[in-house]
Amino acid sequence: MKISKRLQNLPDQFFSSLVEKVGKKVAEGHDVINLGQGNPDQPTPKHIVQAMKTASENPMNHKYSLFRGKRELKQAAADFYAREYNVTIDPDTEVAILFGTKTGLVELPMCLMDPGDVMLLPDPGYPDYLSGAVLGEVQFETMPLIDENNFLPDFSKIPPEIAEKAELMYLNYPNNPTGAVATADFFEETVAFAKENNVTIAHDFAYGGIGFDGKKPISFLETPGAKEVGIELYTLSKTYNMAGWRVGFAVGNKEVVEAINLLQDHMYVSLFPGIQDAAIEALIGNQTCVTELNARYESRRNAFISACDKIGWKTVAPAGSFFAWMPVPEQFTSSEFADYLLNEVSVAVADGSGFGKFGEGYVRVGLLMDEERLEEAVTRISKLHLFDKVPQN
């Protein structure tokens, strides 16, 4: 029995190869320190779990939910944006409930584009952006994210003929995989570019709750005119350690929100109401857990970057997210270096080229274990003497 060309054209799942390699190494009896993952390691806060337990016992939550989700959750999302970013959101027209933001990102090309239309994707970027392009049967052009431009796309280098064709652009700050953050000036440039070229912006704000050095990541919707040109997608996976709960939302432009809701009307009957009740508690309940989690990630970042600095593995400390974007020694490709670390010292990292052409020369490190384990990984790597300084004559 045949499968559709649409499915045949899907890219290989990037992380499945890493999982397979790590699993094989573990099966051989090695103590692998897995820094290649992006799965939060802490449990969901207790008050959120308790809200779910209570909601699960309510018989009203055992029925089909409203197609477009509970209004209470949409109001909670609006209240969250008002509290955190001073952004006004209409819960009735400017919020779409998502089965995790991955779903929204993959759906969006089908919502807004026709086959053959062009979208703009960051390179390096989250691999599943490509899945949305394939399933939507659209074309894509990439925007290089390079160190010299603080891992922000340079809109002036997008060819005019591409800018004119583009219908949709994905951005993601704090950025996966680079850990870079956006500035207010950059988002103002984004709005201007979008208006000039009639491009819809989708800002993936998955790591919006994780910022360091006393600087809170900014929302795209804080920018004047942002709601006129796009949306922002926010997941509870990272901010509240709810990755397995699969709940998020899109907020912003009401026409885009309606398009998402319309597609989802035909695909789902919304999320289990108990999960929605837990998400409400997360968004409007006690936020101490968010402050504590952010401090935990900052402590891990500091420990890891300090340990790397001591062995000569230099990089710019990430300003947000729970990833570090580490340069590869010149004698290796990204893939070779990732395999070398796993085979020689049982440390797993994510091959940067898996995130795009401009990810070559880097590996992504997830700061998703305690400081001692992160430091042990660096100690193991130091024994390979890859970053020792060459004595000067």
pLDDT digits (tens, 9 = 90+) for 355-387: 999 999 999 999 999 999 999 999 999 999 999
Distance between CA 131 and CA 129 in Å, rounded?
5
Going by pLDDT thresholds of 50, 70 and 90, the confidence category of residue 347 is very high
Which of 284, 314, 344 represents a domain boundary (last residue)? Answer: 284
Looking at per-residue pLDDT, the higher value among 11 and 298 belongs to: 298
- Domain end among 264, 284, 304: 284
Do 265 and 207 lie in one domain? The reply is yes
Q: How large is the average pLDDT for residues 197-215?
A: 97
How many folded domains does the chain comprise?
Answer: 2
Residue 321 shares a structural domain with residue 264: no
Helix (H, G, I), strand (E, B) or coil at 340: helix
State both tokens at 330.
Answer: 């010149």
Residue 109 sits in a domain whose CATH number is 3.40.640.10
Domain of 336? 5-44+288-382
Q: 146 and 272: one domain?
A: yes
Q: Is the pLDDT of residue 390 over 70?
A: no
Are 95 and 115 contained in the same domain?
Answer: yes
Q: What is the pLDDT averaged over residues 4-22?
A: 86
Domain boundary among 284, 318, 339: 284
Does any domain span residue 58?
no
Q: Are residues 293 and 373 in the same domain?
A: yes
| CATH number (domain holding residue 371) | 3.90.1150.10
Residues 240 and 190 in one domain: yes
Q: Residue 13: what pLDDT?
A: 77
What Cα–Cα distance (Å) separates residue 138 from each residue in 105, 120, 132, 176, 334? Answer: 14, 11, 9, 23, 29
Burial 167-193 (b: 16+ CB within 10 A, else e): bbbbbbbbbbbbbbbbeeebbebbbeb
Both tokens assigned to 337: 């270096």
Q: Are 186 and 152 in contact (CB under 8 A)?
A: yes
Q: Look at residue 50 and tell me if it is in a domain.
A: no
246 and 259 in a single domain? The answer is yes
158-190 pLDDT, tens digit each: 999 999 999 999 999 999 999 999 999 999 999
Question: What confidence category does residue 391 fall into, taking pLDDT thresholds of 50, 70 and 90?
Answer: very low
* List of residues 6+ apart from 28 with CB closer than 8 A: none
Tens of pLDDT, residue by residue over 110-147, are: 999 999 999 999 999 999 999 999 999 999 999 999 99
Q: In this model, does residue 389 exceed pLDDT 80? A: no
How does pLDDT run across 217-243, given as a tens digit for each residue? 999 999 999 999 999 999 999 999 999
